[in-house]
Amino acid sequence: MPTPNLSGFSASLGGASRGVSKHCIFPFPCYITAMALVCVEDFEKKAAGQLEKNALDYYRSGAGEQFTLGLNREAFRRLRLRPRCLRDVSRLDISCHIFGEQMKWPLGIAPTAMQKMAHPEGEVANARAAGKAGSIFILSTLSTTSLEDLATGAPDTIKWFQLYIYKDRTITEKLVRRAEKANFKALVLTIDAPIFGHRRADVRNNFSLPSHLTLANFQGVKATGVGNAAMGASGINAYVSSQFDPTITWKDIAWLKGITHLPIVVKGVLTAEDAVLAQEFGCAGLIVSNHGARQIDTVPASIEALPEIVEAVGENLVVMLDGGIMQGNDIFKALALGAKTVFVGRPAVWGLAYNGQKGVEEMLSVLRKDFEITMALIGCQTLGDITSAMVAHESQYAKL
């Protein structure tokens, strides 16, 4: 057999910085790369070496003993894939539609607060990366970039806005009006945070937003009973924290629906009972989520809660999921169990901390490629080919 010519392959990998391994066996060339980042964990390690401890612990910590934080990953590992063979997967189409918007693939970026702690361009860099990848970007109310600046900085990205119903309803209403004016396509109401969870790392670190940053959506807010001098960055943070309302109920969603034309997605649903209520109160969709395991410990992993919620409302609401997504087969498992799309939070922050917009783009590219490989090897050409029979709990095999 003649020696294969791999010069073009080597050149496509970046010339001198990336070379073909001496141990390649044709026709499956292998190669080595300098500092290659090939999975989300690689981005996390890079970010951990670059973030200040205050920010790193804030982003990566969970509530209590962090049992659920680990469970979000472990629960995916307990699911087995059941591939089908000899199916034409030569042309993959992983596009999808959510609320009439076309996505290039079923993954978006979840709302994560205060992203300028990770990179100076913060939420704008993250949103631009999402737009290039054909993904949805959800902006957190507690962002370090304002609604308006994000709209200007990432005009081509599909943008949703995450919010809370505050004690002072005029604050929430003004945020809704701004989101509508800035062309955000949906409102994501977080419903699992009447109060903040107990995150031990933040308590130990006495966490606070760095003094050069502020909660940008609240700059210029006129707070009743708070003097102008007190409304610097720290004053804004304290005021916003004081506005979290433990009295809100499902009836308040009727109020929110009454002040906006945007579809309302509730985020933080973990039970079929609450999913049914979301349907009854007119929500357009829901995100199965345990808030990144940051609110209360020992609740189920998001993927564990997904099946009962899909069974309860899957034909009537757009059911989505976040929590624990780290690789392509996690995306596949969530879709097989009924989610229409999934979201990642921490992985996007790791990419952002590593290399700004380019880092998020690279992280998303790694995830997408991994998902495409999973699709092909399971025997699915389109998302419509995915069925629940392609995933089984490990207990089905443990009997052996």
Q: Which residue has the tokens 């396509």?
A: 185
- Residue tagged active-site, from 97, 119, 198, 291: 291
User: Has residue 187 got a pLDDT over 60?
Assistant: yes
Has 345 been labeled as part of a binding site? yes
Arithmetic mean of pLDDT over the chain: 90
Segment 119-142 shows an average pLDDT of: 98
DSSP 8-state code for residue 300: P
Segment 133-159 shows an average pLDDT of: 98
pLDDT of residue 378: 98
Could you state, in order of their start, the residue ranges of all structural domains in the chain? Answer: 7-36, 41-398
Q: List, for residues 191-248, the tens digit of each pLDDT value.
A: 999 999 999 999 999 999 999 999 999 987 765 444 343 445 667 788 888 999 999 9
User: Has residue 74 got a pLDDT over 50?
Assistant: yes
Has 140 been labeled as part of a binding site? yes
User: Has residue 8 got a pLDDT over 80?
Assistant: no
Identify which has the larger pLDDT, 358 or 221: 358
Has 200 been labeled as part of a binding site? no
CA dihedral 263, 269, 273, 274 (to 10 degrees): -50
Tell me the angle at which helices 302-313 and 328-336 cross, rounded to the nearest 10 degrees: 30
Has 368 been labeled as part of a binding site? no
Band (pLDDT 50/70/90 cuts) for residue 116 is: very high
pLDDT of residue 238: 85
| 3-state SS track over 340-373 | CEEEECHHHHHHHHHHHHHHHHHHHHHHHHHHHH
pLDDT of residue 239: 85
Q: Are 31 and 12 in contact (CB under 8 A)?
A: no
CATH code of the region 41-398: 3.20.20.70
Has 60 been labeled as part of a binding site? no
23 is catalytic: no
Q: Are 200 and 64 in contact (CB under 8 A)?
A: yes
- Above pLDDT 90, what percent of the chain? 84
Q: List, for residues 24-70, the tens digit of each pLDDT value.
A: 433 444 444 456 899 999 999 999 999 999 999 999 999 999 999 99
Distance between CA atoms of residues 347 and 130, nearest Å: 12
Q: List, for residues 303-345, the tens digit of each pLDDT value.
A: 999 999 999 999 999 999 999 999 999 999 999 999 999 999 9
Identify which has the larger pLDDT, 221 or 134: 134
Distance between CA atoms of residues 34 and 324, nearest Å: 28
